[in-house]
Amino acid sequence: MTPDPAAPGTHPRTDEDADSRAVTSGATPDPAAPDPLPGHAVEAEGTGTPDSALSRPRPRDAVAGPRGSVDRGAHDPNVVRARPQGAARDSAAQEEAPRRQPLRGRLRAPRAGRANALHAGAWWVWALGMATAASRTTNVLLLALVVAVAGYVVAARRTDAPWARSYGAFLRLGLVVLVIRLVFAVLLGSPIPGTHVLVTLPEVPLPHWAQGVRVGGRVTAEGVVFALRDGMKLATLLVCVGAANALANPARLLKSLPGALYEAGVAVVVAMTFAPHLVADVARLRAARRLRGREDRGVRALLQVGLPVLEGALERSVALAAAMDSRGYGRTAQVPAGVRRATAALTLGGLLGVCAGTYALLSASGGRYGLPVLLIGLGAAVAGLRLGGRRSVRTRYRPDRWGVRAWLVAGSGAAVAALMIAATGYDPAALDPPAYPLTAPALPLLPAAGLLLGLLPAFVAPAPAPAPAAAAGPAKEAAR
């Protein structure tokens, strides 16, 4: 399946084509050959555009030079052979509808770049929407569907960046939570009544003051199923958070914070960039222990490098603080004393209001005045933050824009959550099937269809560019 023109002469070729090969392969050997890369990309995205040039509005294509030769590639017999469907559609669509094609091209998600990057907040809204939906059900099938939807979107839209690799860690964490929940249910028993005894563990006799606590004893299928559902719910929530983490750059999310919170945001970003450094330091210092003839494995070795690692981290943070200071971090504008006082009063009062309002809302007694207090508090806090932002002279470089695609992504998450909440009123039994008596879970069709809305981001969010390493590999080989 390599459209590499490996055997020149076996296929007829136009003069122009041969010329372009000769020139490009002579002057820039690398870009001339790797037609496979763009050709493959076109094929994978399933375009049926007659002219590749039209469908490729990607100025930052991995191969910049040979655009001309790529375009000619559509007529290159070798390339045609490599992707017959595309070619067939090419020739069929050659004459008609030069106007319809760009529209289809436009509907396709663009290649992701700095300029069209989806707002990090949109991803978080989507993920929190999925998590809300998951929190409303214990139906194992629905939960599995949530995980599958989130997983598909992550697979389709995550980049190669370091934070995107954290998704696997979240998946494992979810599994660990599930296992722990099951182990506890087996060891400590379950409040669920059950008739299907799976196994009876030896029970540990406990003193009388520990009545009500049981270690060991009967393990029922009902109890295990209940624990499984419960654990799966928690795991699904974690997976949703992990998906947001993998899809949105946390540093970019913090950049969208209001000015007054900027400094807190920087602290978080710096801490996040420090974590990898610390890991590298530990590895380096453990290696150095080996050079001194001490064991480099085991817990003791890890503990003994603790102090040097902390020392190193401290030194690095001092150096970073010096660098940040000399780069203008913390420059503030002069603000009248009155405004400063107003800021403090509004922020403090607002936060108090938020706390009081939330408490009133959650407790049974104060339902009436809870909401107004919460709203007033929220308003005051926001005003305080806006005023506080005046002290900061900062501007923002290329902030993420909240465009149509961000609305679609965030909206799909909100819709999933709303539909699931609506379904709780409509068919509670299907969403929350009882563990006793045991029943096989059924897939309620309407809520499941609602969850599928969460797939929308996999089609509308800008697609990440293929990994540069993966792109360079075949290109190099083709050049050889």
Partner 1 sequence: MIRFDDVTVTYEGAAEPALSGVGLDIPEGELCLVVGPSGVGKSTLLGAVSGLVPHFTGGLLHGRVTVAGRDTRTHRPRELADVVGTVGQDPLSHFVTDTVEDELAYGMESLGVAPDTMRRRVEETLDLLGLAELRDRPIASLSGGQQQRVAIGSVLTVHPRVLVLDEPTSALDPGAAEEVLAVLQRLVHDLGTTVLMAEHRLERVVQYADQVVLLPAPGVPPVVGTPAEMMAVSPVHPPVVGLGRLAGWSPLPLSVRDARRRAGALRDRLAACAPPAAPAAAPGPEPLVRTERLAVRRGRAEVLRGVDLTVRAGETVALMGRNGAGKSTLLSTLVGLHAPSAGTVEAGGAVPHRTRPADLVRRVGLVPQEPRDLLYADTVAAECAAADRDAGAEPGTCRALVAAVLPGVPDGAHPRDLSEGQRLALALAVVLTARPPVLLLDEPTRGLDYAAKSRLVAHLRELAAAGHAIVLATHDVELAADLAHRVVILADGEVVADGPATDVVLSSPAFAPQVAKILAPAPWLTVAQVAQALEPAS
Residue ranges in contact with partner 1 by CB under 8 A: 113-114, 161-162, 251, 266, 269-270, 273, 276, 284-285, 287-296, 304, 307-308, 311, 316, 319-331, 393-398
87 C-beta neighbours (distance < 10 Å), count: 18
Query: Cβ closer to partner 1: 365 or 395?
Result: 395
Distance (Å, whole) CA 278 – CA 80: 51
Give the residue among 440, 445, 409 at the shortest CA–CA distance from 145.
445
Least Å distance between CB 86 and partner 1? 29
Query: Cβ closer to partner 1: 209 or 397?
Result: 397
Least Å distance between CB 303 and partner 1? 12
Distance (Å, whole) CA 27 – CA 29: 6
For tokens 């379904």, the residue is 423
Contact predicate 163/246, CB 8 Å: yes
Least Å distance between CB 295 and partner 1? 6
Least Å distance between CB 393 and partner 1? 4
Query: Cβ closer to partner 1: 118 or 147?
Result: 118
Least Å distance between CB 430 and partner 1? 45
Query: Cβ closer to partner 1: 203 or 315?
Result: 315
Instruction: Give the tokens for residue 395.
Output: 């501007």
Query: Cβ closer to partner 1: 11 or 331?
Result: 331
In whole angstroms, how far apart are CA 77 and each of 13, 86, 173, 332?
A: 7, 13, 51, 64
The DSSP symbol for 76 reads -
Least Å distance between CB 73 and partner 1? 24
Least Å distance between CB 262 and partner 1? 9
Amino acid at 81: R
Give the residue among 415, 478, 426, 411 at the shortest CA–CA distance from 449.
415
Distance (Å, whole) CA 68 – CA 471: 19
Query: Cβ closer to partner 1: 72 or 119?
Result: 119
Amino acid at 461: A
Query: Cβ closer to partner 1: 201 or 324?
Result: 324
DSSP 3-state of 403 = coil
Give the residue among 301, 273, 192, 180 at the shortest CA–CA distance from 235.
180
Find the angle CA(116)-CA(161)-CA(255) to the nearest 5 degrees.
55
407 φ/ψ angles, rounded to the nearest 5 degrees = -60, -40
DSSP 3-state of 394 = coil
Cα(first)–Cα(last) distance of the chain, in Å? 17
Query: Cβ closer to partner 1: 279 or 443?
Result: 279
Query: Cβ closer to partner 1: 190 or 392?
Result: 392
Amino acid at 92: A
Least Å distance between CB 280 and partner 1? 10
Least Å distance between CB 266 and partner 1? 7
Contact predicate 255/263, CB 8 Å: no
Q: Strands 215-220 and 197-204: what pairing?
A: antiparallel
Least Å distance between CB 250 and partner 1? 10
Query: Cβ closer to partner 1: 305 or 380?
Result: 305
